[in-house]
A and B are shown apart, each in its own frame.
Chain A
Amino acid sequence: MNTLRLMAVFFRISVLNETAYRVNFFLQLLQSLLELGTALAGLAVIFSYTNNLGGWSPNEMLALVGVYFLVGGIISLVIQPGMSALIDSVRDGTLDFTLTKPENAQLLVSIQRVAIWSLLDLLMGIGVLVTALVRLGQTIGVAEAAGFIGMLLAGGVIVYSFWLILASLSFWFVRVENLLEIFQSMYQAGRWPVSLYPGWLRFALTFIVPVAFATSVPAEALTGRLGGPTLLGALGLAILLSAVARLVWRLGLRHYSGASA
């Protein structure tokens, strides 16, 4: 409950900050629409030559694009801004101010910045996803829907934990922004089902930089492609990674000496 209240507060502050720059809204809207249009046009070109891409029908691919924008929106809405701010505050020593607050510091750093215009990507992703679901119709049962929501949550936890681990490395190393960039540049590969990729690339996208869990796995759950083992594996990894992230964060905090200490 307290967590939700804090989130609402940070969100409200971001809204107040950003509404001073209203032109940004229209620019972001334009850019998001262009990006979505490009993704859809790309699919149109491909599906003018085939009616399934490695076993994925046009509507199933549409669902994947929806998930891609939805998760990408969440990442650029809170995860990326918060983790960048964490790295900066460790370097500048301003993390002191966060640590002195009577709340869980991990929670505070994770939600401290909200790039509200990224809500557009998130909403667009949901829109595309709903369109795809309507078109897919009755092929989606309760099991698929439950699996999808479960995998989306697991994917979110995995991505968040991954970012927190990398950002926490800033307690030991000064320049870690670059590591975060790697995720961003590899995320584009998540717009396609990982099953298309050769084994080595699939491995890299699953276990080195967990892009697959963010987009492909939820979409596979939705389209009834996911077996029990993968489902359990994803849930297990989510729990494991969040524990590791918590551990790395704590060790990092112990290593942190502040600005003037």
Chain B
Amino acid sequence: MNVLEELRSLLRLYGQQFKTTFATMVQYRASLFIWMIAQVLEPLVYLIVWSTVSNGSGGSVGGYTAQGFAGYYLALMLVNQVTYTWVMYEYEYRVRQGGLSFALLKPVHPIHSDISDNLSSKLVTMPILLVVTVILAFIFHPTAPLTLWAVLAFIPALILAFLVRFLLEWTLALAAFWTTRVAAINQVYFILMLFLAGQIAPLTLFPQWIQVLADILPFRWMLGFPVELVLGRLTQVQAFEGLAIQAAWVILALVLVRLVWRAGVRVYSAVGA
């Protein structure tokens, strides 16, 4: 099969997955609503907390005014929406209940249906979240010095961030092959994300050593970097360095996915599912 044909069949698969996912989401409207609350409330709470700190300390903290924090957290909310995944919750279930066996029978790598499911459901939820963002923007008056080059560079940064996060979280989800107690692993991961991706506070507000750590580890490149970029808080050099680091993480993550997947599937069949 040539590359073009292969691509076409993948596109068909993605199209089909969109229909399936859409039908499922219409069925589970209530879950969708609850998901929205969690997705919006967390950045909203930090937005409010940091705005309070900013207003209480002469109008600015670490270069962020209350409106600056509003801009930061609304952008973070949107970038998080684009990049986040839920495969870690699903894999434990799939491995334990044996649902994965069906996916293994299909002639395409199971990661494809996960990617298309992820993108499809975001196509549905994104408009809702954009409306919420506009409403919150009216309430909190975010400001950000937008520049054309930063907005243009934001597009590849966002795509790369999605790829790094998806591939790494998919790899982490495969931990379910070796242990049924993945909750603790996931929790550690989320805490690292909270501090090192810029969720609890913009990374520039942390001590130097944490910022260095955040540069070395992948978390910032999955979330914080695109946010800082689009808000105009990075120089052009920093932006290009960041994009290069993101690209390097994508390659590394691709290698990781392959290695861990192969080892994991072997363990899975060995259990006798």
B53 touches A198 (CB 8 A): no
Q: Besides A27-B184, A45-B201, A50-B56, 20 other CB < 8 A contacts?
A: A27-B181, A31-B184, A34-B187, A35-B187, A38-B194, A42-B200, A45-B200, A46-B49, A46-B53, A46-B201, A49-B62, A182-B34, A182-B37, A185-B41, A186-B37, A186-B41, A188-B42, A188-B45, A192-B49, A196-B52
Chain A proximity of B81: nearest CB distance (Å): 16
Which residues of A pack against B, CB within 8 Å?
Answer: 23, 27, 30-31, 34-35, 38, 41-42, 45-46, 49-50, 52-54, 175, 178, 181-182, 185-186, 188-189, 191-192, 196-198, 201
Which single residue of chain B is at the shortest CB-CB distance from A200?
A: B139
Binding site for A on B (CB under 8 A): 30-31, 33-34, 37-38, 41-42, 44-45, 48-50, 52-53, 56-57, 61-62, 139, 181, 183-184, 187-188, 191, 194-195, 200-201, 205-206
Q: How many A-B residue pairs have CB under 8 A?
A: 72
Q: List A contacts of B49 (CB < 8 A).
A: 46, 53, 192, 196
14 example contacts (A-B, Cβ-Cβ < 8 A) are as follows A27-B183, A34-B188, A35-B187, A38-B191, A46-B49, A49-B53, A50-B57, A54-B52, A185-B37, A185-B38, A188-B42, A196-B52, A198-B48, A198-B139
B residues in contact with A175, CB < 8 Å: 30
The residue on B at minimum CB distance from A47 is B53
| CB neighbours of A45 from chain B (8 A) | 200-201, 205-206
Determine whether the beta carbon of A34 is less than 8 Å from that of B191: yes
A149–B87 Cα gap in the complex (Å)? 43
CA distance A185 to B38 in the complex (A): 6
- A7: min CB distance to chain B, Å: 28
A53/B45 in contact, CB under 8 A: no
Known: A38-B194, A192-B45. A185 touches B34 (CB 8 A): yes
Chain A nearest CB: distance from B209 CB in Å? 14
Question: Mostly helix, strand, loop or mixed at chain A's interface?
Answer: helix
Query: For B200, what are the chain A residues with a Cβ–Cβ distance below 8 Å?
Result: 42, 45
Alpha-carbon gap, A9 to B102, bound state (A): 45
* In the complex, the 5 A-B pairs of residues with the closest C-beta atoms, listed nearest first: A178-B30, A185-B38, A54-B52, A50-B53, A181-B34
Quick check: A49 and B37 within 8 Å, CB to CB?
A: no
- B residues in contact with A41, CB < 8 Å: 195
Q: Are B52 and A53 in touch, CB under 8 angstroms?
A: yes
Are the CB atoms of B41 and A49 closer together than 8 Å?
Answer: no
Shortest distance between the CB of A246 and any CB in chain B (Å): 27
Bound complex: CA A197 to CA B48 (Å): 7
